[in-house]
Amino acid sequence: MAAVQTNVERNTGAVGRARSLQAIARERAALGALRIIGLIFVFATAVLFLFPLYWMITGSLKGPISTLKVPPELFPTAPTLLNYQQLFSRFPAWRWMFNSCLVAGGTTLLTLLFASMSGYAFGKKQFLGKRVLFVILLSTMMMPQQVILIPLFLQMKRLGLMNSYPGMILPLVAWPFGMFLIRQFMPSIPNELIDAARIDGATEIGIYSRIILPLSKPALGALGIFTFMQAWNDYLWQLIIINDSRMLTLPVAISTVTRAENFANLGLMMTGATFAFVPMFVIFMIFQDYFVKGLTVGAVKG
């Protein structure tokens, strides 16, 4: 009887292990299937989001008639560089590129300077009315840009900054988002470092330049990318402040390219859009690590 009972227990245990192995195999198969489905979904989403970029680049290689074909050509049957030749020969495209680089670069540098200073003050300093002032500055982020266009235009006109680079840059600098982003990053910098620097005799400028700025590189890099992209793509303010064709930035200039034609030359318009896209893509590829880090700025408190 004992031998029979032992055999039954062994058989029961073997059956249980076999069922466990089958359950594990089924779970692994289900996880594998879900992983494949997830990869297919990610690939399809990437293709969906990249298709407008592909359409813009291929459209710049099509002639005026090819861009208006129905059904449209997914692949250029007769690719040509005529649109690029017309863009650079008939329009001051390089001057527009210089204007965009100067406006976006100047806006980015000034924003990083002032945002780092104000973010340091709000994040590490104690002064009267700090909370109230911070709330007031944050409330301006909820204000639409269109609300301040008329008073801002009148102010720039009285200061004599129409059709000038300062008039194109300065209104884009004074925006509280940069201050808010840097301020949210400040708690990750230990107060002990600042106190030790003060004990060693460091001035406020020394603390700011030798401690705050080096340790704030992730936040500054992310803010730099956000600011550069926003300034590069800014259309409404540049359209209002500039009426000289040689002072135009690329987003505004592209619209003038289409108006200069007697018909809707979509190929030339896509050529201008492609030309304006390249510098921003290069900047993003160079500083993409800072962009990823910037997505979590202020999310983890030390």
Domain 85-294 listed as CATH 1.10.3450.40: no
Percent of the chain at pLDDT > 70 equals: 86
Cis-peptide, bond into residue 71, ω within 30° of zero? yes
Say what the pLDDT of residue 225 is: 85
CA distance 213 to 184: 14
Burial of 97 (0-12, 13-18, 19+ CB in 10 A): middle
Say what the pLDDT of residue 302 is: 44
- Scan for tokens 């987003």, then name that residue: 251
Q: What is the pTM of this model?
A: 0.79
What residues in the chain have per-residue pLDDT under 70? 1-21, 258-264, 290-302
Collapsing DSSP to helix, strand or coil, 294 comes out as: helix
Nearest by Cα to 83 from 47, 59, 99: 59
Count of Cβ atoms closer than 10 Å to residue 240 Cβ: 17
pLDDT in tens, 256-301: 776 656 666 788 888 888 888 888 888 878 877 766 666 665 554 4
Say what the pLDDT of residue 166 is: 92
Q: Please tell me what DSSP assigns to residue 186.
A: G
**Token pair belonging to 261:** 């034609």
Which amino acid, residue 239?
Answer: L
Nearest by Cα to 68 from 284, 261, 302, 295: 261
* Residue ranges per structural domain of the chain: 2-59, 85-294
Say what the pLDDT of residue 301 is: 47
Say what the pLDDT of residue 189 is: 87
